[in-house]
Amino acid sequence: MSFVIEVRFFAKSILLQGHEPLDSRHPHAQLGRAGKTPLLAHAHYRREEILPALGIRTFEKSPDMAHVSGGAWSENFRTDALLINLKKSERDFSPTMMYRDYAINRERFHWESQNNTRASSAVGRRYATKQSNGTDTLLFIREAPDDEVGTVPFVCLGSADLFSWRGERPMQITWSLHRGMPVDLFRTSGAVS
């Protein structure tokens, strides 16, 4: 119970400190087509908050059963959660995981799937048919996994629709964000690419 209260308090405090007026944030707007999630666009979350909020990691599921490396599927919300690190160093990532993920502009984001994702796979088909399959995508980004203080939280960019895709292993996908990316985050994302 206290975990949920702390998560909501943390998200609310982020909204109060945000760069846009509160009324433009729509704090009660749905994130995800299948129903409301407890997540807010442009709020900061740690992986340990995102996964339980989407029902991916629960008390019934052990952490080992729900390991997430870059993306996770929430059956409860029929939502793909994409957890994206913009800066990838050879110290933290193998050469096969140095994906090119970056903001094209404040409304569009280029993302590469995991290297083993074929367009014909179940995951690849789910990505490629987002416009018609009734599933949703939430993007969470951060500049790097950690900084001088410790683990860096992700910023929830909110829901995104498929704009285009091509290739496979990895699939190169452009997402169209429902809400424009905060300007400071866009500058960071553009500088990283």
pLDDT of residue 90: 66
User: Which range has the worst mean pLDDT, 21-30, 117-126, 131-140?
Assistant: 21-30
Contact 102, 157 (CB under 8 A): no
Q: Which amino acid type is present at position 191? A: A
User: pLDDT tens digits for 141-155?
Assistant: 998 888 889 999 999
User: Which range has the worst mean pLDDT, 6-20, 101-115, 125-139?
Assistant: 6-20
Which residues, other chains included, contact 76 with Cβ-Cβ below 8 Å and sequence gap of 6+?
34, 54, 55
CA–CA dist 139, 190 (Å, integer): 16
Structure tokens at 144: 């790097």
CA–CA dist 115, 97 (Å, integer): 7
Mean of the per-residue pLDDT values for the chain? 78
CA–CA dist 174, 101 (Å, integer): 10
Q: Where do the domains of the chain lie, and which CATH numbers do they carry?
A: 2-192 (2.30.280)
pLDDT of residue 120: 96
CA–CA dist 180, 88 (Å, integer): 24
Please give the average per-residue pLDDT across 1-9, as a whole number. 41
Asked if pLDDT for residue 173 goes beyond 80, the answer is yes
- The pLDDT confidence band at residue 7, using thresholds 50, 70 and 90, is very low
CA–CA dist 79, 72 (Å, integer): 8
CA–CA dist 45, 78 (Å, integer): 20
pLDDT of residue 70: 82
Structure tokens at 14: 């982020």
Residue carrying the six token digits 């994409």: 82
pLDDT of residue 38: 85
Asked if pLDDT for residue 19 goes beyond 50, the answer is no
pLDDT of residue 145: 85
pLDDT of residue 188: 82
Biggest alpha carbon–alpha carbon distance for the chain: 45
